[in-house]
Amino acid sequence: MGLQQSKSRALFQRAAKVMPLGVNSNFRYWGPDDTLIFRRGEGAYVWDADDRRYIDYRLAFGPVILGHAYPAVLDRVRQALESSNLFAGTTPAEVEVAERIVRLCKVDKVRLTSSGTEATMHALRLARAYTGREKFIKFEGNYHGQADYFMFSTATSPAGALGSARSPVPAPSTSGIPKGMHGYVITLPFNDLERLEERVEAVWGDLAAIIVEPIMGNSCAVMPRPGWLEKLRELCDRYRIVLIFDEVKTGFRIAKGGAQEYFGVQADLVSYAKALGNGFPIAAFAGKEGIMRTIEAGGVAHAGTYSGNAVGTAAALATLDLLENEPVLETIRQRGQMLMSGIGEVLRDAGLPHSVQGSPAMFGILLGSDQTPSDYRDCLQGDAALYKRITFALAERGVLAEPDFLEAWYLSYSHSEQDVAETLTALEQAVRAAK
C-alpha cells in the first residue's frame, strides 16, 4: 500500500498511459504507488484527488511564496486577462515588472522569460558573448535547469560518478547530452576556497562564467561559508569572469533583493523565477548594463514567445506588491525559524543525529550526522532512506515535504503558527513510526 488512495491511483494509472512516468516533470515522480494527484490548493494547504488535506512544504518546489490560490494574485491575473493574454510586443505590465526588479535587486537591466531554465541558459550565453570565452565553472549539487550545458554533477549524480574532490569529474545527469558538452564545464565542490582558487588560476583564460546557487537550494540548502561568495566575486573581478547568481530559488524568497541583498555580494548576472510570480510562469535574467547590452547591440539572441505574458506579469506585480507592502518575508522568517528549531528538537529527542540548515524561508535537513554539511559530497553521506520513510509517514499524517532529502522545505506567508505546531506533532509521530 502506497500513499495513493483510490482516486489518485485511478488518475495516476490514466496519466501513466499517456505521459512517461505519469508526470510532466521527472522530479514529481514518487513511484507507481506513491505519486499523488493534486486537485486543489489554498493558502498553506493542498488537497489530493481523494480530498486528503496536507500542509504543504513543497510549494511547487519553491514558487508559492504567498500561498496557494492567493486571492490578490488571482484577482490581478483575472483582471489582466480582460485585455488579452499575449502580444508580439511589449505591455505596460512588462515595463513595470522590469522596473520593480531593477529597483529591488539593484540590477541595471532585465529580460523576462517563462522558466528558470531559459533564464540561466541565456545568462550563460551572454557571459560567453561578453568575454569571448567558452567554458564555465559550476558547483557539484547545484542545479541550473535542463539545458544540456548545466546537466552535470547535479543533485541526481551518485557519489561514485563525481571523481575525487581534488580532481572532480563532471558527471552527466541525463542520457542524451552530446559528448562535446563535457568539455565546456568544470565542476568543483561548493565552499572549497582552495580548490576554486587553484582551478581559476589554472584556466581563467578559458572561463566565461562561474555560476552558483548562493544557497544550495537543490542540495539540503547548504549555506555558503563566510567569505565564499566574496571569493567568487574577487576571482571574477580579477580575471574578468562573469559571476552568475542563479537565484531561481533564493530570489524574492530569502530577501526582497534575493541572495545579493541577503549576503551583500553583487553578481554580474542573476537568474530569477519561482517566487517572482507565486507559481505563475514568469522568470527573468538581469544584470549589469555592459553585459546586458550584448543583447541590445544585436549580437546576442534572446527570444521567447511567452516572455512577458499577461498571466506571469500580472502575478509578478501582485506578488511584488505584497512583498513590498506587507510583512511577507518577516512572517515567513519567524514561522520558518520556529519550524527549523522545532524540527531540530524533535530529531534530538528521538536520538537522531541531524543537521538543519539554510534560511528559514528555505531550509534542508540532513540525517545521519550532527555535522553541518558544506558541500554536495557531505550531503550524500546522509541517511536518505530514513529521511524518505519519515516524509512518507508525514504524508500519511497530512504534512507534505519532499521525500528526496536533498530538496528543501519551503515556507509561505500563509503558513500559520498553528500549521507549524501541527507539523511538529506529526513529525514526532512520523519519526517514531519510521525508526
Among 54, 57, 61, 190, binds ligand PMP (CB under 6 A): 61
Give the integer Cα–Cα distance in Å for 49 and 4.
9
Give the integer Cα–Cα distance in Å for 167 and 182.
15
CA distances from 195 to 10, 137, 221, 253 (A): 51, 12, 21, 30
Residues 6+ apart with CB under 8 A from 320: 97, 100, 104, 252, 276
Closest approach, Cβ 247 to ligand PMP, in A, equals: 8
Catalytic choice (143, 149, 376, 410) = 143
Catalytic choice (109, 249, 256, 274) = 274
Among residues 256, 259, 226, 221, the alpha carbon closest in space to that of 243 is found at 259
115 lies in the site for ligand PMP, by CB under 6 A: yes
Closest approach, Cβ 115 to ligand PMP, in A, equals: 4
Pick 251 or 382: Cβ nearer ligand PMP? 251
Task: Classify residue 287 by burial, with Cβ atoms within 10 Å: 0-12, 13-18, 19+.
Answer: buried
Give the integer Cα–Cα distance in Å for 202 and 60.
40
Whether 410 is catalytic? no
For ligand PMP (CB under 6 A), the number of binding residues is 15
Closest approach, Cβ 113 to ligand PMP, in A, equals: 9
140 lies in the site for ligand PMP, by CB under 6 A: no
Catalytic choice (246, 268, 375, 378) = 246
**Grid cell of 258 as nine digits:** 534575493
Among 4, 8, 91, 117, binds ligand PMP (CB under 6 A): 117
**Grid cell of 116 as nine digits:** 528558470
Applying CB under 6 A, the span of 169-177, 246-254, 324-332, 396-404 interacting with ligand PMP comes to 246-254
Whether 143 is catalytic? yes
CA distances from 424 to 331, 342, 418, 428 (A): 18, 7, 10, 6
224 lies in the site for ligand PMP, by CB under 6 A: no
Output DSSP code: residue 306.
T
Among 8, 120, 191, 355, binds ligand PMP (CB under 6 A): 120
143 lies in the site for ligand PMP, by CB under 6 A: yes
Site for ligand PMP in 204-223 (CB under 6 A): 213, 217-218
Pick 248 or 367: Cβ nearer ligand PMP? 248
Among 141, 145, 172, 336, binds ligand PMP (CB under 6 A): 145
CB of 188 within 8 A of CB of 196? Answer: yes
C-alpha triplet 314, 41, 72: angle, nearest 5°: 30
Site for ligand PMP in 249-278 (CB under 6 A): 249, 273
**Grid cell of 398 as nine digits:** 497530512
Among 64, 171, 220, 248, binds ligand PMP (CB under 6 A): 248
Whether 138 is catalytic? no
CB of 403 within 8 A of CB of 251? Answer: no
Kindly list the catalytic residues. 143, 246, 274
Site residues, ligand PMP (CB under 6 A): 61, 115-117, 120, 143-145, 213, 217-218, 246, 248-249, 273
